[in-house]
Amino acid sequence: MNFNATSGARYPAQKGSRKKRVSDTAAINAPAYPPAYPPSYPPPYNPFASAVPGTVPPNMSAYDDRNAVPPPYASSPDYSHMHANAPPMDQGYSIPGQFLNEPLVANVAMQYGQALVGSGRQLVDRELEKYIPVSRLKYYFAVDTRYVLKKLGLLFFPFVHSDWSVKYEQDGPVQPRYEINAPDLYIPTMAYVTYVLVAGVILGMQDRFTPEILGIQASSALAWTIFEIAVELITLYITNIQTNLKTLDLLAFGGYKYVGIIFALLLSILFHKTGYYAGLIYSSFSLAFFLIRTLKVQVLPDGSSPHHNDPYTHSSGNKRRMYLLLFVAGIQPLLMWWLSFHLISPPTPKS
């Protein structure tokens, strides 16, 4: 009987190889594809799934599968112990709205607000007063209907007036509504606006009206008024005449000429050139007389000047003041003619 030592082995053993020994039996049946969830992230817990398929979960064994209800979820955390020692809202605590509703607090807040508004208004008035004399303007517009009617009568009939003095109070002259001889700016302002409107009406009747003509008339009249006031102020400065006249006084006296211009233009509508020149001559003469009598009280010295007793100074000062009166009164007819002669309605030709 022959003995073969390699008869039990199908494949000869290779030199240097070693058989591997598997110690993990679970790895033998491991699937070839990776698991649905990584080992470190297990799938979410499902309370309805049982550990063994086909069986009822332990917590639902007493219920029928058809009437099974899920177990109650974990209740939310209870924070009531945190508010156990909190005091109620009506014991020493109040919201801002309730705090402001207190009478004492409301009165203090109202008084503080009124004081704040008052201080702000005073600041605005003080800054505005530096550029626009608002307090003085209030004086020149303190008029009423009775004063306006009497002043218009004085402008057209100054020859019948006798008392030209201006009354004064402790803090200044009396308001125009109580003193007819006081200058005002209400009549000059209204007369200036009316002059522009009447000029537009007359130009419209002559088929010469354009929308730009009103602006030209208004700006031209305003420019000549400013030029007149500037010349008068320069004259007062050069001649060194001390008077009680202010810039707004000169503006008021110079604005009265628009009343005479309106009167002459209205007559020109009815009587053409004849009515215009008749009204212009009369209104110019009455305005010059009014200005001389009014400014005489304001310009001529009353004995309060320190050089009043000096004969030479008194004589030369009176002459310069008289020249000023004649200049202010004489320039008004020229300006009245210059601002209105181009508006005269020409006579209609006879057929």
Q: Is-contact 253 291, C-beta < 8 A?
A: yes
Q: Answer yes or no: is pLDDT of 232 > 80.
A: yes
Q: What is the pLDDT of residue 211?
A: 85
Q: Which amino acid is at 6?
A: T
Please give the average per-residue pLDDT across 279-299, as a whole number: 92
Residue 258 CB coordination number (10 Å): 26
Count Cβ neighbours within 10 Å for each residue of 142-159 and write b for 16 or more, e otherwise. bbeeebbeebeebbbebe
Task: Give the percent of the chain with pLDDT over 90.
Answer: 35
Q: 16-25, 142-151, 298-307: lowest mean pLDDT where?
A: 16-25
Distance of alpha carbon 333 from alpha carbon 293, whole angstroms: 16
Distance of alpha carbon 176 from alpha carbon 166, whole angstroms: 10
Q: What is the pLDDT of residue 74?
A: 47
For 173, phi then psi, to 5°, come to -70, 160
The model's confidence at residue 76, banded by pLDDT at 50, 70 and 90, is low
Q: What is the pLDDT of residue 122?
A: 63
Q: Residue for token digits 């030369």?
A: 316
The model's confidence at residue 30, banded by pLDDT at 50, 70 and 90, is low
Tokens of 164: 């030209």
Q: Answer yes or no: is pLDDT of 285 > 70.
A: yes
Residue 331 CB coordination number (10 Å): 17
Cα 308 from chain centre: 52
Give the global pTM: 0.62
Please give the average per-residue pLDDT across 204-223, as a whole number: 91
Q: What is the pLDDT of residue 348?
A: 54
**Number of residues that this document lists for the chain:** 351
Task: Give the percent of the chain with pLDDT over 70.
Answer: 55
The closest alpha carbon to 218, from 251, 189, 195, 252, belongs to: 195
Q: Is-contact 158 289, C-beta < 8 A?
A: yes
- Quickly count helices (H) and strands (E) in the chain: 9, 0
The model's confidence at residue 195, banded by pLDDT at 50, 70 and 90, is very high
- Which is more confidently placed, 239 or 48? 239
Count Cβ neighbours within 10 Å for each residue of 165-180 and write b for 16 or more, e otherwise. ebeeeeeebebbbebb
SS3 324: helix
Distance of alpha carbon 324 from alpha carbon 229, whole angstroms: 13
Q: What is the pLDDT of residue 4?
A: 52
Q: Answer yes or no: is pLDDT of 63 > 50.
A: no
pLDDT in tens, 154-190: 999 999 998 888 888 777 788 899 999 999 999 999 9
Q: Answer yes or no: is pLDDT of 318 > 50.
A: yes
